[in-house]
Structures are given as structure tokens and as C-alpha cells.
Structure 1
Amino acid sequence: MTVGSKIKSIDFYRKIPRDLTEATLSGATLSILAAIVMISLFVMEFSEYMTVKTHTSIIVDRSLDGDLLRINFDVSFPNLSCEFASVDVSDTLGTHRINLTKTVRKYQLGADLVKTGGLVRNLPEPKYEALEEKKHEEHKEEHRVPGDNSENAIELTAATFDEANKKYPILLVNFYAPWCPWSRRLSPVWESASAVLLRKFPHEDGRIRLGKVDCTVHNTLCRSHHIQGFPSVRIFRSGHDILAHGAHHDHESYVGDRTTEAIVEFAEKLVPPAITSEAPEQAQQEIQQAAAEIAEKVLKVKGGAPGCNVEGFVLVKKVPGNVHISAHSHQHSFDHVVMNMSHIVNHLSFGNQISVAKEKEMKRLDPEALLNAQSNRLKGKAFISESLNVTHEHYLQVVLTTVEPRGNKYNRVDLYEYTHHSHHFQTEGMPLAKFSFDPSPMQVLITEEKRKLYHFVTTACAIIGGVFTVMGITDSSIFMVMKLVKKVELGKQF
């Protein structure tokens, strides 16, 4: 035998001469049906092969020790002054950071809780005169006006406040509390500055005067002027301490150094020119024009009447802790009773904002996880204090979901979901808006799975061979039955 003949002897697919085969109508029908079935099954198998499959598992959080958790927030406080609003962070490891400013922005709110002012920046801490108590008394006596047995600064009450406002074109008022250490430090300086100003602008001049209000005695008067921290120095021009700036209003306050020289220098810039008898109307116009020019240059802070919008983010360790917002100042004391921490949560989320490309990838892999992470569950919820000294606390349980696309673990997407439980309670200390977070030690890992190519090829061959074989057996069976029927019919004819 030749080599070719030997190879032909192992042919699995031996051919039958065409003239020895017989085509039948049933065979043609089954062939068409077999082709339709094979094509349909092949298309479905190919679609299944191209469909993205994901596998979900629960594992221990694989975050590194140095990984930090980002907390994004946007909260509106209708009754908290931006001057005192402070964002603080603490955790169970002993971390305690006060008055974060680098990644936090504050904006004044109008009555309709819409941002009306520009960015409010934290003011530098004022300097105090370094005088001992004994020197304070000597300082007071040295600057006391001769023949005047009363204190240099006017002690104002609810009954005399409006009268003094109408009497003096410029009135600087120190709202203080005797129990406040910062008020006690300012008190002798305030008296000293008042004495110096009285020497330069005596009683008969009447263009400027310094006053003071004890807020522990006249608390209603202080609350009507939205005094939240002590001491607060307000500037009243003909009875008003509000400056209008476009769509928003500010209390005009002194925020410079708390020394005699600084206060006197500041006050002298506020004094309008003296009115002469020769041209009183012209002089009055000049006074108003000068006051308007000074108003544009004077230092201002946000008062208690407008609210404050606090937004930004903080980075924290992945351990239980809290972010709380409250009134805080190194140079003021506060009356807890007047602090109202009612707030509206505009936004609260965890983690970095994902890019457009990663968001598109997430929509392809797990749109539900993306939707849950972006749900912002506290959005638009209001928490109102209906009594005094109320702290609002929100307990947030945070879970990390990591999605890893196939073939690129470094292109993973980290999403954070959280549940929340909120409650409020009365406290003896400073009321807070507190967001307590508790990151879960477990994480959800979603990995993309795709079938191997050889699995698809194997299945496709099984479909084609299986359908062909089944249809061949069916055709043979039909052919044998029909042949048997014909033989029976022929036997009957004989």
C-alpha cells in the first residue's frame, strides 16, 4: 500500500458516493430545522460569552494603614454665625483636630437659606495688652476724665440703649459677660480707650462714644442683637449696626487687636467731620459721604442674624470617630442657651469623586452599586432644635465596595455606602451637629469574570455536533418508519 492509501485508511469521515445516497423531503425539512436551531443556539451562546459576569465576595478590608477616608459635606445652619462656625474632627485613636480651615469653606446665608455673601475667611486672633491687674487699675485712673466720677465707657441698659444710639453718630458697644476671661481682659483696655477718646472728643463734641452692655444682666438686649460670643464689639452708626452689601447684610464689628492704641486708632477713622454753623447742610452731606467711604473700608464679620453654609471635606483615619460642627473661638466665650444648631444636610458622602471614565465603567459592571453610593441618603433632611441646648447626632455605618475590572486590578473603583440613624438630646455644654462615623472592617469585593475562549469554542462545537447528530437520528428514524410502512402496504397487496 502507498503512503496515501495508509493515511486514507484512518479516515473518520468516510464518504459515500452521491449516487448511493437518497434525498428525502423529511430529510430536507430536518436539515433546515437543524440549521435554524444551530444558528439560534450559537447566537445565544455568543451573547452569553460576551455578557459581563461579576462575582461578589465579602473580605476583610484590604486598605493600607496609611489610607485615609474622605468625608464630603455641605450643611446649612440658619442660626449659626460664620464667625464662630468650626469644623472639628476626633477619633478613637486620640486624634483631635479643631477648627479645620484648609479644606472647609464657609458662606453667609440669607433668610431664605441661599448663599448671599462671598467666602468667609477666619480672622486672625487679636492681640491683647499685656497688663497686670494692678497696672490695669493704674491705667484706668490715669485716663479717667477729670471731674467725671463715672466710668469712661457708658454702661448701657435696655432702657438707655436706643437713647444713646440716637445721641451719638458713632457708638462702639462692648457686649461682654463678667464670667468670660476674654471680657475681663478687654474691660480695662476698653475703659482706657474710652478715656483717650473722651480727651480728644469731649462730651460737648458728641461725635463718638464707647459703651458697654453686661449680657448677664441684659440678656434680652444682647439676644436681640444676635450676640453669640463674648466679648463682641459692634459699631452703631446713627442707631444701626447693619451694613448692606448688595443682596446680603453684615453686622459691622471691630475685629482688630484688643489694645488701647488699636481701638483708638480704629475709632478715630470712624469719627465724622465736625459740623460748622456756616454751612450745616453741606457739612452734613460731607459727614454722610465720609461715613459711606469709611463703611467700605471698615473690617466686618458675619453676625448672628444670617446663617452659615459650611461645606468642604476632611480626611480621617478608617477608625470610629466623628466630625462635629459647633461654635468655637480662642478669643470668645459663648452663651450655650442662645446657640441653636438646627441644620439642613445638603450633601454628605464618603470617598473621592470618581472620574467620568470610571463612572462609565461602573455603569457597565454594577450600576446598582454606583446608584447606592451616590444616593446621598441624608440629602435634604432638616434637623430642627425645638428646645434649648440641643445636640443633633447622626450615626453613620460606612461600608466600602471595591469593583475590580478584568485584567486591571490597579484600575479599581472604591465606592462607599452608608446607613444612618439620627437622634437629638439636650446637653449641658456647647450644642453640636455631630456626624459619628463607623467604618466597617469588612468590604464588598466585586470582580469581573469572563468565560475563557476555549469554553466558548467547546460549547459551540457541542451545539453544532449535538444538533447534527440528533437531527440525523431523527431523520434515520423517520426514514426507517416510512420504509416499514411501505413494506406493510406492499405485503397487503399480495
Structure 2
Amino acid sequence: MMDRMFNKLRNLDAYPKVNEDFYSRSLSGGVITLVSSFFIALLVVSEFRLYLHTVTDTQLVVDTSRGGKLRINFDVTFPSVPCTLLSLDAMDISGEQHLDIRHDIMKKRINSDGNVIEVRQDGIGAPKIEKPLQKHGGRLEHNETYCGSCFGAETSDDHCCNSCEEVREAYRKRGWGMTDPDLIDQCKREGFVQKVKEEEGEGCNIHGSLEVNKVAGNFHFAPGKSIHHSSMNLLDLLALQTESYNISHKINKLSFGDAIPGIVNPLDAVQWEQTSPNGVYQYFIKVVPTIYTDIRGHTIQSNQFSVTEHFKNSEMDHYRSPPGVFFFYDLSPIKVTYTEEHASFLHFLTHICAIVGGVFTVAGIVDSFVYHGKKALKKKVELGKLR
């Protein structure tokens, strides 16, 4: 019974064996074997390296997320705008506005050679004197409460402006522009004018981050402090400033969210030099939500973006747009997902088998041609057909 079963299994052998007495080994066969073995080793090593490396699967899906916040990271250098005069504003289509932003913002004063003079939290003015002027004249004594004048911008009888910035804020809410800080006691007392004059000829590096609504909007850097008037954003261009502003700038870094491995943002290290007088430089940015998942399963929810640029010369602008660098951003409805993954081990084994089997098959065909060719040649020589 067992012998019959073994005979049936023997008949299923797809690899019939040839007696060694019938083997014929040749020099050409040995050379072909060495060459084919080298190719097999080379291809196996290459395939193994590919197996160890991760592959990234990319997919496009519709972004159905709603609400949320968008973090904007920036690092911009203005070689010809002093830090005291440089302001940052942001607004979006939902109507939310952030004027003269200061939180999470750092400024570096730089000289004409690009060297850092001072690093400070955003803010202007010098420390106040111990006894400032009161609203109705006279000097403040230790037992009195100081209430500075808002110079016509008060909203009530008990409205006080105790600093230059509070006066500017009161003017901004009224929609007025502060034309001469020398006439404002608080500004004069805090040394605002003197500070601007001290920084004449300097530049400024401003870096930090903004957190805005996840809707279309813009943020901009401008020489001067913003005011709001009749739903239009203008600039309070101080009388002590010159009429022309050089908004040449270098964007050291600009990103929307966390960094994504392998992705280089298109505006990093971009530099622009102004060649004409006053103007507005505009960047129109399309933000693409992106989810990146690495091989360990760690997920980064961030954004990529594309950009187009435009410079508008104020001399040619009928409405005399205020000078500055504007970034207009909009969000794409399409989300990109990147997923790192390894090729499966079975896929790797399949490729190895294909390499070994394919190379040996091709080598066998070549060896067969060489062997039979030599044999036919030898036979013709023996018959005297070739000399």
C-alpha cells in the first residue's frame, strides 16, 4: 500500500533527475554560471535595499473638516524698515481682525550690514517718567491717580489714555490718524519720536507665529500702525516718516502648520529688492491641507501651499494703496494624504524568486545556444566542411 503511494508521488515529480554519468560540463558553462551568479547577487542586494526603504503612498481626498485654527509661522527680514515702525496685521473673510499684533512676535533690530543690534518683544516706546502729566495739567503726585488725555478721542468722560499706545488705539477706534506724535504728551514723554530717529537707517527681522481662523484671509507687514475706517484698512503714516518706503524683504521662513518631512516650502529663502518708489508687494497663496503619516504611525496634520507674486507701484495706483508686504491666503477644498509604508515580505520573496528563476532561465538559454553552437561547429570541422 505504501509502495503504491510512493510510486504515485514519484510520478508527480516535475523535476526528473538525470544520471551523473550523462552530465557534460564545459568551460563556457562555468563562465556563464559565474556571470549569472554575479547578476543574481547584484539584483538580490538591490531588491533588499528597496525592501528596507519605505514607500510613500499619496492620495487626494475632499477636505470635509470644518472650523479649527490655522497656525502661520513666519520669519521675515526688512533691511530698510526700522522695528519701531514695522507692524503686523491679520484679518479674514469672517470679519475677524487683529491689528498691530504683538503676542508671540519677536523683533530684531539689524544694522545696514545685517548684524543684530537688539532682540526684543514687540513694543514701542521707552519707560514712562515717574510723574507724568495729568489730564488737566500739572504733575502727578504719589497720592494721585493719573488719567492721561486722549486728545479728543475719548469715548466717555472717564476715558483715560496713559500711554502713547493707548492714545493711538483711541485714535484707531475713531478712525483717525495720528499725524504728529510731538503734539501727544504721552508719545513725547515716552521718547517715541526719539526712538524712531535713533533707529533711522536700520532694518528689522520679525519672526513668530499667528493663529487664525481656518478660512480665507490675509496678513501683512507695513511701515506704520494700522487704523480702521469705514471697513477699509489704511495706514497711520506718521509725519516723522519719509514719504517713500523701501519694502525690500527676505522671507527666511513661511509655513502653515508643522514641517512635513521632504517638503520644501516655496517661499523659504525668497528675497525681493524694491527698485521703484512706494509700492505694495503681494503674495497670493493657495493652502492645501496635508496629512502625513510615517512608518511608525505618527501623524502630522499640516499644510502645503503654492504661491504667485505681484508688485503694485503706488505711483501708478489711483487709490494710492499703502506700502507693505501682503500675504493673501485661501484654502483648497482638496486634502493630500501621505502614508509611509513598507513593501510586504511576501512581495519581497516573490521578487527574489523572480530574479533567481529569471536569471537562471536566461543563463540556461544562453548556455544551450553556446553549447550546441560549439557542438555543431566541431562536427562540421570533423566532416571537413570547415578548415
Common fold by TM > 0.5: yes
Q: How far apart, CA to CA, are the structure 2 residues paired with 1:122 and 1:397? A: 31
Whether the aligned pair in 2 keeps the contact of 1:398 and 1:440 (CA below 8 Å) is: yes
- Residue 344 of structure 2: aligned partner: 452
Q: How far apart, CA to CA, are the structure 2 residues paired with 1:102 and 1:116? A: 21
Within-5 A mapping of 1:36-185: 36-61=38-63, 65-76=67-78, 78=80, 82=84, 85-108=86-109, 114-117=115-118, 119=120, 121-122=123-124, 182-183=150-151
* Superposition deviation, residue 392 in structure 1: 2.1
- After superposition, give the CA deviation of every residue in 1:97-129 in whole Å (9 maximum; x if it has no partner): 122211123455556665434526356999996
* Superposition deviation, residue 482 in structure 1: 5.0
1:345 to 228, 243, 249: 249
* Structure 1 pair 128–57 and aligned structure 2 pair: CA distance change class (3 A): farther
- Residue 312 of structure 2: aligned partner: 423
Q: How far apart, CA to CA, are the structure 2 residues paired with 1:487 and 1:75? A: 86
* Superposition deviation, residue 465 in structure 1: 2.1
> 1:404 is matched by which residue type in structure 2?
Y
1:328 to 216, 219, 225: 225
Whether the aligned pair in 2 keeps the contact of 1:229 and 1:334 (CA below 8 Å) is: no
Whether the aligned pair in 1 keeps the contact of 2:82 and 2:109 (CA below 8 Å) is: no
- After superposition, give the CA deviation of every residue in 1:338-372 in whole Å (9 maximum; x if it has no partner): 56543342435123464xxx7xxx3xxx4xx33xx
Q: How far apart, CA to CA, are the structure 1 residues paired with 2:72 and 2:13? A: 69
* Structure 1 pair 476–228 and aligned structure 2 pair: CA distance change class (3 A): same
* Superposition deviation, residue 91 in structure 1: 1.3
- Residue 330 of structure 2: aligned partner: 439
> 1:36 is matched by which residue type in structure 2?
F
Q: How far apart, CA to CA, are the structure 1 residues paired with 2:382 and 2:192? A: 121
Whether the aligned pair in 1 keeps the contact of 2:60 and 2:336 (CA below 8 Å) is: yes
Whether the aligned pair in 2 keeps the contact of 1:403 and 1:413 (CA below 8 Å) is: yes
- Residue 231 of structure 1: aligned partner: 183
- Residue 303 of structure 1: aligned partner: 196
Question: Could you tell me the percent identity over the aligned residues?
Answer: 20
Which stretch shows the higher mean deviation, 27-36 or 113-122? 113-122
- Residue 160 of structure 1: aligned partner: none
Q: How far apart, CA to CA, are the structure 2 residues paired with 1:437 and 1:395? A: 6
* Structure 1 pair 107–429 and aligned structure 2 pair: CA distance change class (3 A): farther
1:35 to 24, 37, 40: 37
Q: How far apart, CA to CA, are the structure 1 residues paired with 2:110 and 2:183? A: 23
Q: How far apart, CA to CA, are the structure 2 residues paired with 1:437 and 1:329? A: 17
* Structure 1 pair 96–345 and aligned structure 2 pair: CA distance change class (3 A): same
> 1:254 is matched by which residue type in structure 2?
R
- Residue 467 of structure 1: aligned partner: 359
> 1:421 is matched by which residue type in structure 2?
H
* Structure 1 pair 427–409 and aligned structure 2 pair: CA distance change class (3 A): farther
* Structure 1 pair 103–339 and aligned structure 2 pair: CA distance change class (3 A): farther
- SS of the counterpart of 1:462? helix
* Structure 1 pair 10–103 and aligned structure 2 pair: CA distance change class (3 A): same
- SS of the counterpart of 1:343? coil
* Superposition deviation, residue 302 in structure 1: 1.9
Structure 2 unaligned spans of 5+: 139-148, 155-178, 228-235
What is the total number of aligned residue pairs between the two structures? 328
Whether the aligned pair in 2 keeps the contact of 1:344 and 1:383 (CA below 8 Å) is: yes
- Residue 168 of structure 2: aligned partner: none
Whether the aligned pair in 2 keeps the contact of 1:128 and 1:185 (CA below 8 Å) is: no
1:392 is aligned to 2:280: yes
> 1:457 is matched by which residue type in structure 2?
L
Within-5 A mapping of 1:11-30: 11-30=13-32
1:2 is aligned to 2:2: yes
- SS of the counterpart of 1:342? coil
> 1:453 is matched by which residue type in structure 2?
F
- SS of the counterpart of 2:35? helix
* Superposition deviation, residue 95 in structure 1: 1.0
Q: How far apart, CA to CA, are the structure 1 residues paired with 2:275 and 2:185? A: 29
- SS of the counterpart of 1:100? coil
Whether the aligned pair in 1 keeps the contact of 2:291 and 2:338 (CA below 8 Å) is: yes
Whether the aligned pair in 1 keeps the contact of 2:279 and 2:322 (CA below 8 Å) is: yes
Larger Rg: 1
* Structure 1 pair 13–385 and aligned structure 2 pair: CA distance change class (3 A): closer
* Superposition deviation, residue 457 in structure 1: 1.6
* Structure 1 pair 334–184 and aligned structure 2 pair: CA distance change class (3 A): farther
Structure 1 unaligned spans of 5+: 132-138, 144-180, 187-226, 235-251, 256-297
